[in-house]
């Protein structure tokens, strides 16, 4: 779907993107995380051909990203997007429909479906200047779906949104995944990434430090298990801890001692904790 091959970029002698390489597979939601200033937005700009890399190349649908035909099936939303306040929502959607050559008789249905998706029904005739920031972002998000894209590239789609807005976007992303679409998005809100993504790439100081599925990462950073049990006939709950490789022996032991298992919970670092510790470790080492 999207292949980024060892791109590098210098801004005024400072290397901001260093040999970044990753590939996004069809049908997955790919999270791109990193602290502010790590090079997320620059990478996305290179992918979108707004900025030329000094070396390396980007392939979208197997074709170079400079080929504009790849954008027929691409949706993109920049970070904190903005559109002129002096036009109405419908006028902007009309513009997008014009670009993709959507015939006029299909537009009404298409627009109302998209607006319903992001919970903006009924405001399309109002000037965008009367929208709240979140509404603008949702409108623009909806507009990226106008061409039914196979690949969606979103730069910080969640930032600047209220929880309701975040939920809307998250659920649309899940729907898209179910339809077999691919989503590539950057974020610094890790809970969302953890909740949504199949795989993540972590970028720090212009380098990809970690690239794996969310499940694997969390698995790798498993601290242990917490087992809650009680003796048969007793009403007191007892809690036991087990290291990752000691769960089965513990359960065997409890069984022989006549305990009833109430629950087994993995004790793990959240993705956030993993990243924070990871980044801090790197910083200290550097």
Partner 1 sequence: MNAIPVAKLTFKELLKEKAFLGLLLFEVFLLFVSKLISNVVAGDTVKVAMDFALAFFFFTVALFSIFASVGSTFRDISDKVVYLILSKPLRRRDYVLGKFLGVAGAVALFTFFSFFVVTAGILTISSLSNLYVPHVIVVERVFLVSILTCMMGIFLSAFGLLFAVLFTSQILALLSVLFLFFAGLELSPVKELVTSSKYVSPINKVIVQLAYYLFPNFSLFDIKDYAVHLSLTVSPLYFLLVSVYFLIYTSAVLVVSTLLFERREL
Give, in order, the Cα–Cα distances in Å from 258 to each of 9, 241, 243.
63, 17, 21
Q: Which of 82/239 has CB closer to partner 1?
A: 82
- Residue 232 in contact with partner 1, rule: CB under 8 A: no
For partner 1 (CB under 8 A), the number of binding residues is 35
Q: For 136-139, which contacts have Cβ atoms below 8 Å and span 24 or more sequence positions?
A: 136/81, 136/82, 136/83, 137/77, 137/80, 137/81, 137/161, 137/165, 138/165, 138/168, 138/169, 139/83, 139/89, 139/92, 139/93, 139/115
Describe the chain by its helix, strand, coil percentages, rounded to 5: 40, 30, 30
**The one among 10, 21, 52, 280 contacting partner 1 by CB under 8 A:** 52
**The one among 84, 179, 220, 267 contacting partner 1 by CB under 8 A:** 84
- Residue 10 in contact with partner 1, rule: CB under 8 A: no
> At its nearest, how many Å lie between partner 1 and the CB of residue 133?
13
Q: Which range touches partner 1 (CB under 8 A), out of 44-52, 165-173, 215-223, 268-276?
A: 44-52
Give, in order, the Cα–Cα distances in Å from 48 to each of 17, 90, 151, 177, 229.
15, 25, 12, 21, 54
Q: Which of 85/249 has CB closer to partner 1?
A: 85
> At its nearest, how many Å lie between partner 1 and the CB of residue 84?
4
> At its nearest, how many Å lie between partner 1 and the CB of residue 81?
6
Write out the residues near partner 1 by the rule CB under 8 A: 45, 48, 50-52, 68-69, 71-72, 74-84, 86-87, 91-92, 94-96, 98-100, 127, 140, 143-144, 153
């Amino acid at each position: 779907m999207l292949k980024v091959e060892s791109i590098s970029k210098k801004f005024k002698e400072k290397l901001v993107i260093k040999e970044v390489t990753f590939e996004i597979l069809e049908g997955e939601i790919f999270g791109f995380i990193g602290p502010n200033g790590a090079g997320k937005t620059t990478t996305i700009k290179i992918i979108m051909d707004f900025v030329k890399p000094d070396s390396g190349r980007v392939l979208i649908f197997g074709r170079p990203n400079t080929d504009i035909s790849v954008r027929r099936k691409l949706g993109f939303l920049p970070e904190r997007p903005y559109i002129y306040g002096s036009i109405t929502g419908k006028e902007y959607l009309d513009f997008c429909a014009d670009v993709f050559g959507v015939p006029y008789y299909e537009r009404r249905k298409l627009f109302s479906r998209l607006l319903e998706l992001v919970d903006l029904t009924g405001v399309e005739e109002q000037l965008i200047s009367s929208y709240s920031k979140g509404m603008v972002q949702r409108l623009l998000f909806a507009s990226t779906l106008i061409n039914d894209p196979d690949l969606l590239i979103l730069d910080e789609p969640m930032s600047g949104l209220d929880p309701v807005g975040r939920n809307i976007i998250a659920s649309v992303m899940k729907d898209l995944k179910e339809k077999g679409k691919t989503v590539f998005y950057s974020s610094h809100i890790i809970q969302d990434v953890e909740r949504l993504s199949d795989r993540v790439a972590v970028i720090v100081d212009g380098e990809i430090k970690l690239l794996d599925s969310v499940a694997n990462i969390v698995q790798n950073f498993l601290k242990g298990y917490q087992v809650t049990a009680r003796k048969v006939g007793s009403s007191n709950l007892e809690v036991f801890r087990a290291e990752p490789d000691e769960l089965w022996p513990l359960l065997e032991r409890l069984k022989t001692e006549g305990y009833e298992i109430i629950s087994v919970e993995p004790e793990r670092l959240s993705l956030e904790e993993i990243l924070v510790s990871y980044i801090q470790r790197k910083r200290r080492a550097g």
